[in-house]
Structure 1
C-alpha cells in the first residue's frame, strides 16, 4: 500500500497528481523563449543553466515567476487527481492514472482551441501536443490510447482539433514552452498539495488567475478540474479557501 505524505511527515508520495498544459499559438514560440529567459534572469540570475524548473525557486522567486507570466497571451489548464481515494485501486497498471487524467486535460485543450478558432484563423486549427518527456512512459502507447478513445466515442474531446499522429515528447531542457507549462502547472498544484507542515500556497495560483482557462468565470469545469470534484475531495480549510474564487 502506498504511503502518502502527511503533515509533519516529509516522507511518502504526493497526495495529488497534477497534469496540465500551457496552450499558446505556435507563432509565439520565440516569445516563450524570451519569457523563459526573463524569468531566469530575474529569478536565478547567477544560474549557469538557461532552463528553469519551478521547484528550484524559493517562495519569492516562484511568486515573481508567476507575476512575469501573468497577462501573457497564453492559457493554462490543469487536471488534479487525488491518489488516495476509495476507487484508487482502479488504477493499478503503470501510468493508468496519468493517462486517465490526461484524457480530461486534452478535452479541455480541444475545447479551448475550438472556441478560440474564430478569432485565431492562423494555421490549420489543430493542436500539436508536446509532452515533457517522462521516463517509463510510452508515447506510442498514449497515441494508441487516444485512438481507442476516439473510436469508442467515450469522451467529449473535440477531435477535429487534435492531431493524434503529431503527439510528441521533448526533453524539458530543450523547449521553453514546456518550462513555462511547468511553472503554471506547479503553481496551481501548490495550492492543493500540502507541504511538510500541512500548509498549501495559493498566492502563485492567484497571480495566474487571468491566464487560467475559463468560460464566463467557470474555472472548475475547464482550467481547474479536480477528480474527485472539489466538494467531494475532503479539502482542508486552506485548500478550500485557495480555490474559493475559482468555483
Structure 2
C-alpha cells in the first residue's frame, strides 16, 4: 500500500455548473479572511480537481452517502422522505461524542435554519 504525503486532496465528480476555480477561490478566502478551525497546512488548494464519476470508486462511494442524505431530505412525489438509508450509513459518518453536524456532516444552510418539515427533521434527530 502506498503511503500518502499527509495532504488532503479534494476531488469532485465532474459535472456541469460547478466552478472548480470558484471553489478554489472560496477556499483561499476562508484561509485568508475567515477564522476557521481548518488546519490549512494539509489542504492543497492547487490540487482541487474533478474526475469522471466512473473512474474513481471513492467518488461512487461518496455519491452513495450523499444519496442517503438526499433521500432523508428530499420528499418524493407523495411528500415522503426516507430516513433508513441515512441511519444505515450513520456509523460511517465522522462524529465526536455523537456530534455529527459539527464534525462529519455539514449542511448549507445548517439544518436548524433549513425550515425542515417534521418528517425531515425526524430523520436527523440522532445527529443533533
Normalised by the length of structure 2, the TM-score is 0.86
Q: How many residues align?
A: 128
1:162 aligns with 2:36: no
Matches within 5 A, 1:166-185: 166-185=47-66
1: CA distance between counterparts of 2:87 and 2:50? 29
1:189 to partner: Cα distance: 1.5
Bigger Cα Rg: 1
Gaps of 5+ in 1: 1-26, 29-121
The match for 2:11 is 130
In structure 2, the residue matched to 1:218 is 99
The separation in 2 between residues aligned to 1:228 and 1:170, in whole angstroms, is 27
Alignment pair present for 1:152 and 2:33:
yes
Q: Corresponding residue for 1:115?
A: none
- The structural deviation recorded for 1:200 is 0.4
Runs (5+) with no aligned partner, structure 2: none
Q: Separation in 1 of the partners of 2:18 and 2:90?
A: 31
1:198 is paired with a residue whose SS is coil
Higher strand proportion (structure 1 or 2): 1
**TM-score for both structures, normalised by structure 1:** 0.47
For the aligned residues, what is the CA RMSD? 2.0
Q: Which residue of 2 aligns with 1:142?
A: 23
